[in-house]
Structure 1
Amino acid sequence: MQLLNTLNYRTMKSEHKLKKHLVLVILVTGVLLLIPLIAMQFTTEVVWTLSDFLIAGLLLSCTGAAFVFALHKMENNTYRLGVGIALISTLFLVWANLAVGIVGNESEDINVLYYIIPAIGLVGAFLSRFQSHGLSYTLSAMAVIPLIIAIVALMGYLQEPPHNTATQILGINMFFTVMFSLAAISFRNVARDENEKELIAE
């Protein structure tokens, strides 16, 4: 009976902490959205529409909530690091692509391909049930896509004016490849440690 009460207490405490962190995510999102709102009152260079605020709020809150759930799901700091790198990189990729476009400008058709990356992340995360082994493969796949897009862009002569230079195209895509690769390595290290613990237990 005492053990059951202890488990119930820990569960309630964990749920309370989760709700507290989710509220914090909402508050931080609200504060961040105040920055462009205030800037619009003093300069005409910052022009956000209602849809801009809604999309930004959705991206920030979903990213924050996903990281909070990861914090509560796993106590392994390497796993948390992998989640953090993956989420921040994906947020930056989607935000930049929506705002100005990664190749050329936001109207370039090739930029639609970048949305394959978060799609792979979502599908891979759910199929692997957020297990480190599956996530390492998911992030590895996400790391390859920017390189493929860069090659397609260069083959399509999108490095010529008025588009980005070849160095810019390769640089930004290599950045995302490196970031997603670091996340994949983090999850791979977690999976390796878990396998070693299982072998020792046997």
Structure 2
Amino acid sequence: MKKLLAVVLAGCAFGPMAGSAIAADLQTCRSESSTSSAPDYKRVGREVRKAIVPEAKKYLGTQYTAQWLQPDDAGWYVGVAPGKRSLAEVRAWLAGRVAKHFKGRDAKLIRSRMHVIRQPYGNAELGETGNAIWELLSQEGPFISWDGGEGCTLSNAYRTEIFLYEDSTEADLEEVRRKVAEFGDRVRVTRLDEPMANG
């Protein structure tokens, strides 16, 4: 989103396969950290990000939503929006990438912690939405402190999130929600009773 402070949810990596995450196609993002104390995470985490994340972004294109680390289970997650590639296809592709870059114990460990999660919107679509909202609010107001970005702190999936701050009123909140209503389910707006951080 142009000129906005990004809402960062700790980036790391992702994946497919195994376990309950496959059944739970849509899952709340819970990430609060970019690292984990889980066994072997520090040893392989950086290598997973370097080896597989860029390839996944290219493979998924506009279906790519986000990547994140769940620090409680040290699982790597990738969010995938609807499109030509099914979740099963993405999982199979990622399994092949893991086999290409990692062997033996490391490959088994990474596969056990990688999950593909269904998301309603891709990062590119959310970015376009954010840019349109920036243009709208910067021209029409209300002229208050606000920022935003792509995140999942206000719902159970990645969306464009807008935050108003203590110099705003409930009336401002309602006005912003009314103005962005044209973007539908892609947007969430909230008000925080605190000053906006500088920088």
TM-score norm. by structure 1 comes to: 0.28
TM-score norm. by structure 2 comes to: 0.29
Q: Which has the higher strand share?
A: 2
Q: Whose RCO is larger (CA < 8 A, sep 6+)?
A: 2
Q: Which has the larger radius of gyration?
A: 1
